[in-house]
Amino acid sequence: MDPEIRMAMSRHGDVFAAADARRAGVGRTAIGARLRSGEWWRIRYGVYTTGDTWRSASSDGDGHRLECAAAVLRLGEGVTVSHASAARLHGLIVPSSADTTVRLTHPAQFRTGRGYRVTEAALPPGDVVRLGAVRATSLARTLVDCAREWGVQDGVIAMDDALADGRSTRADLTAAVLRQSHWPAIGQAARAAGLARVGAHSPHETLTRLAVGAAGLPEPVLQAAVLVGGHLVGVVDMLFDDAGVFVESDGRVKTDDPWGGRTPAEALWAEKARHDSLLDLDLRGVRVRPADLFTPWPAKAERIRALLAAGPAAGPRRFRVEQWRGGLRRAPQVPAARAACA
């Protein structure tokens, strides 16, 4: 690769402009030939990357990062990557309903073009960070911007995910909401921030927790560790401590893609042994699958309510409960997009 092109790609986030190519001695005709051969790839008018870079990013689900970098290079440094685009760069959970338009914010202009949209909004210094070669809205600002557009449920899913990694705090979210007082749809972002909690480690756990709250049930301890002396019996997704009732939000990933190098059969056996140990302590539990949050949910909610009404088992309590690791994940999840921007 020509050193001029390599340096330009390093400056601009793996993309380069036609002007960079000309400085490297590659004219319009030669650019066309390289595009036709697949050696280079046009991302948008006048902005390119190498074919290998594009193919690698596309296969890793990282193509949007290059599209953002290309839009910033074309429009100038005055724009900041924001909204769903910033969410992707931060490695947040983005709902399937969010389109792939490159989203940008500028403090003094708005415009729409092919594949991009610029929103006019204030950008205080604390709301802007550097992700690789591009400016992007901070994590908390991004979460609040997205919740204003996505709605409460998808907003809480993204917020819970960031909280579980320890990358944001509820105080950060509250401060970001307050900085957007009177902005469009800030009420639903405030609602999402108020519902966000540390301890939901998957979208299904968040949705189960929201369903529990909507049913009028008390708030459980999330990632509740059940201990006997110094021995960890198990960690459950949710536990109503006073009643000794736990809720497990079970998806197939627990056995289809187990962690720690275990086979699905080993994961299933360990899960059964853990469940039996909890029952041996007179704890009672309910499993909630993704499908249970639809038509079967009222019956599940009533079952939980009945167990809570029955109270704890008779006799002395033989265990203690604490939130395991403060509700944080064992290790932060680092998607390809986030790693590429580090």
Task: Flag whether 321 is in a domain.
Answer: yes
Instruction: Look at residue 277 and tell me if it is in a domain.
Output: yes
283 lies in some domain:
yes
Which one of 181, 196, 211 terminates a domain? Answer: 196
| Band (332; pLDDT cuts 50, 70, 90) | confident
- What is the tens place of the pLDDT at every residue in 111-132? 999 999 999 999 999 999 999 9
Residue 258 binned pLDDT confidence (cut-offs 50, 70, 90): low
Q: Are residues 183 and 93 in the same domain?
A: yes
Q: Which domain holds residue 115?
A: 77-196
Half-sphere exposure of 57 (CA within 13 A, CB side): 24
State pLDDT tens for residues 267-281.
778 888 899 999 999
Q: Which amino acid is at 244?
A: G
Cβ burial 237-249 (10 Å sphere, 16+ → b, else e) = bbbbbebbbbbbb
Among 149, 175, 196, residue at a domain's last position:
196
One domain, residues 54 and 91? no
Verify that 21 and 90 share a domain, yes or no: no
Question: Do 119 and 22 sit in the same domain of this protein?
Answer: no
- Both 20 and 86 in a single domain? no
DSSP 8-state assignment for residue 109? -
Do 48 and 142 sit in the same domain of this protein? Answer: no
Judge if 169 and 225 occupy the same domain. Answer: no
pLDDT at 301 over 90: yes
Does position 341 have pLDDT exceeding 80, yes or no?
Answer: no
CA distance 238 to 304: 12
Report if residue 257 sits inside a domain. yes
Q: What is the mean pLDDT of the chain?
A: 93
Complete DSSP assignment for 48-97: EEEHHHHHHHHHTT-HHHHHHHHHHHHH-TT-EE-HHHHHHHHT----TT
Q: How confident is the model at residue 342 (pLDDT cuts 50, 70, 90)?
A: very low
337: in domain: no
Residues 146 and 188 reside in one and the same domain: yes
Query: Lowest mean pLDDT: which of 110-124, 127-141, 153-167, 241-255?
Result: 241-255
More confident residue, 83 or 340: 83
Rounded Cα–Cα distance for residues 86 and 135 (Å): 9
Overall number of domains in the chain: 3
Q: Kindly state whether residue 136 falls inside one of the protein's structural domains.
A: yes
Answer yes or no: do 316 and 209 share one domain: yes
Q: Report whether pLDDT(336) > 50.
A: no
pLDDT for the residue 85: 98
Q: CA separation (Å) from 106 to 81, 111, 199, 290, 291?
A: 9, 9, 35, 40, 42
294 in any annotated domain: yes
Give the pLDDT mean for 59-79.
95
Report pLDDT digits (tens) over 102-113: 999 999 999 999
Q: Is the pLDDT of residue 1 over 90?
A: no
Span 285-309, average pLDDT? 96
The last residue of a domain, from among 196, 222, 237: 196
- 12/161 Cα distance (integer angstroms): 29
Q: Per-residue pLDDT for 261 more than 80?
A: no
Q: Both 158 and 239 in a single domain?
A: no
Is the residue at 158 inside a domain? yes
Yes or no: say if 324 and 222 are a contact pair by the CB < 8 Å rule: no
